[in-house]
Structure 1
Amino acid sequence: MQTSSSTHVRVGVDLVDVARLTRFALEHSTELATVFTERELTYCRLKRRCYEHMAARFAAKEAVLKAFGTGMGQGMCWTDVEVVSEGTGRPRVLLHGYVADYAQKRGLLELDISLSHTTGMAIAQVITVWQKRREE
């Protein structure tokens, strides 16, 4: 990833306990649609270790918002950050709604993500490249 004097890089990382996410999913199954898109839920449910994949996607959502420097801001929805898999299995982030507008208005040029998970933990790291604004 190349940057120039007219760009800056931000990083976001998040770690999720798979057991905690599993409990949430089992105890609050009706709320899953407020956290994950239908495409994310379908993808995870087709995997042998469904909750590890869900935990990685939740970590990804958190890591994206950390890289944006906002955390979960007012007007943002969890489903505004969607993790999809390319044909190779590589994860890619799609932005929707308020989060997409925020990124576009603030000059997001590039977003890359890496996910990893075990039976106990899931981690996501996000790197973003932004167009520098005059006041920076």
Structure 2
Amino acid sequence: MIYGIGTDICDLRRIRATLARRGDRFAEKVLGPRELAVFHARRARVEARGVAYLATRFSAKEAFSKAIGLGLRMPMTWRACEILNLPSGQPVLRLDGALAEWFAERRLRGHVTVTDESEYAASFVVVETIEATPNA
């Protein structure tokens, strides 16, 4: 059963301006440790790839916070929710700490997708309840 759905769109120009104004502090506030390593690697190769990566993660976290109905209130924090990629490239949610516990207590599972174009990043998140398996 669907618990919640969230979507978000992010203007890459706004992310670029924030990075120019605040530097890496902005990325360090939004990204978890594994995401931050990817951000730095992509940005070192091509600035635009790093910005797009940050924007997709920002957007996905906004969408996730909407899907779970908390917004950015505890236990939902920017860094407790990471959007990582499987070897296939598929984005997946990785939750840590109190947010992971909150999510598990409610028997939830999340699905995320992200995309970006020249000036926008967008994401969509579906959170579902994990049905209890009946005793056989």
**TM band (smaller chain):** 0.7 to 0.9
**Range with greater deviation from structure 2 (73-82 or 48-57):** 73-82
| Contact kept in structure 2, 1:8 and 1:131, CA below 8 Å | no
Deviation at 1:50, TM superposition (A): 1.1
The alignment yields a C-alpha RMSD, in angstroms, of 1.7
Identify unmatched segments of 5+ residues in structure 1: 1-6
1:1-136 matches, within 5 Å, as: 7-28=1-22, 29-47=24-42, 48=46, 49-108=49-108, 110-131=109-130
Q: After TM superposition, give the deviation of residue 120 of structure 1 in Å.
A: 0.5
Note the C-alpha offset of 1:40.
0.9
Deviations 1:48-91 (A, max 9, x none): 32101110011011111111011111343200110111111111
Q: How many equivalent pairs are there?
A: 125
Alignment identity in percent? 26
Name the TM-score, length of structure 1 as normaliser. Answer: 0.83
* 4+ residue segments displaced more than 6 Å: none
> How far apart, in 1, do the equivalents of 2:75 and 2:125 lie?
21
